[in-house]
Amino acid sequence: MALSPHPEAAGRRLVFLHLPKTGGTTLHHHFSKHFAPEEVCPERFSALDRYSTEELSRWRYFSGHYNFDQLRLIPGPLFIVTVLRDPVERVLSTYYFWKRHRPEVIAARKLEGPAIARAGTLLDFLRNRHHEVTDATDNTMARYLAGQMNVWADGTWRYNSGAGGMNVTELEVMHRATGNLLATDVFGISSQLGQIYTRVALAFGMPRVAAMGRLNTRQEETAALEPVVEEEITPEIRAELDRCTQLDRMLFRLARAHLRQVPR
């Protein structure tokens, strides 16, 4: 007798909170194959508020660099997935990915972040306070999971909302980030992409994948990206990396400890 198909997560929409440079491109590639093009939300960045509730209701799969607060705009019920990565490695990956952009591509697309990365050294990049650089490097995982959080040039934190904003402490950022992380249905770290996919596949009836080859790797050379030589991590660079990943390192350490005790 044939077995009945596994219910697709009880009708929930699949939402992949893709934290930048965590290996999420590989998961998105496999998740998206399960949905028809018209079921996939086209918004891959933080602009879900541009769409009406009616428009958002049309899609069954959402994947993008959203922050956690924006997920509340999506009509429920939701099945939320995210991936964390070693914070220092994530920042270095961002820098080298941006630095690899060819000059003609930067000029044609007016890419400010990659232009800054190419213009100087890793130390220059980490000390740059341009908003694109700080958004991509300064405790990015904690901020995205905490919601509408920005860190100012003086190191203070601010929660932004439609009614204005307010200053918050690092403890409040961590409280929101860890609480929202635990509210996801599946989370893991970048070295566990296969396990993460398997858990989502079980819930949504997706096909098994024998191997998950990494996409968008640092070694990849394309018409838009060229090779670069990696820089030595000096004490000055290490200090800047520690500064801009302080909360992310705490979050990552707690997440790994949780996953060791309660496999997801």
Domain assignment of residue 1, yes or no: no
pLDDT in tens, 219-253: 677 889 999 999 999 999 999 999 999 999 999 99
Domain assignment of residue 2, yes or no: no
Residue 226, Cα to own-chain centre: how many angstroms? 23
Domain assignment of residue 7, yes or no: no
Handedness of CA 26, 237, 255, 130 (dihedral sign): negative
160 φ/ψ angles, rounded to the nearest 5 degrees: -100, 140
Rounded-to-integer distance, Cα 151 and Cα 138, Å: 8
Domain assignment of residue 103, yes or no: yes
Rounded-to-integer distance, Cα 243 and Cα 85, Å: 17
The neighbouring-strand residues paired with 166 are: 159
Domain assignment of residue 134, yes or no: yes
Domain assignment of residue 122, yes or no: yes
Domain assignment of residue 3, yes or no: no
Give the model's confidence band at 2: pLDDT under 50 very low, under 70 low, under 90 confident, else very high. very low
Return all residues near 114 (Cβ < 8 A) that are at least 6 apart: 98, 99, 101, 105, 106
- The pLDDT assigned to 105 comes to 97
Does residue 120 register a pLDDT over 80? yes
Q: Angle at which helices 170-183 and 246-261 pack, to 10 degrees?
A: 30
Kindly report the pTM of this predicted structure. 0.91
Domain assignment of residue 211, yes or no: yes
16 φ/ψ angles, rounded to the nearest 5 degrees: -100, 105
pLDDT in tens, 158-199: 898 766 678 999 999 999 999 999 999 999 999 999 999 999
Q: Which CATH number characterizes residue 174's domain?
A: 3.40.50
Handedness of CA 210, 214, 219, 220 (dihedral sign): positive
pLDDT in tens, 50-101: 999 999 999 999 999 999 999 999 998 999 999 999 999 999 999 999 999 9
Rounded to 10 degrees, the C-alpha dihedral 130/131/137/138 comes to 110
Give the model's confidence band at 155: pLDDT under 50 very low, under 70 low, under 90 confident, else very high. confident
- Residue 158 is part of which domain span? 12-261
- The pLDDT assigned to 140 comes to 97
**Residue 248 CA: distances (Å) to CA of 17, 102, 105, 131:** 16, 30, 31, 18
Q: Quote the number of domains for the chain.
A: 1
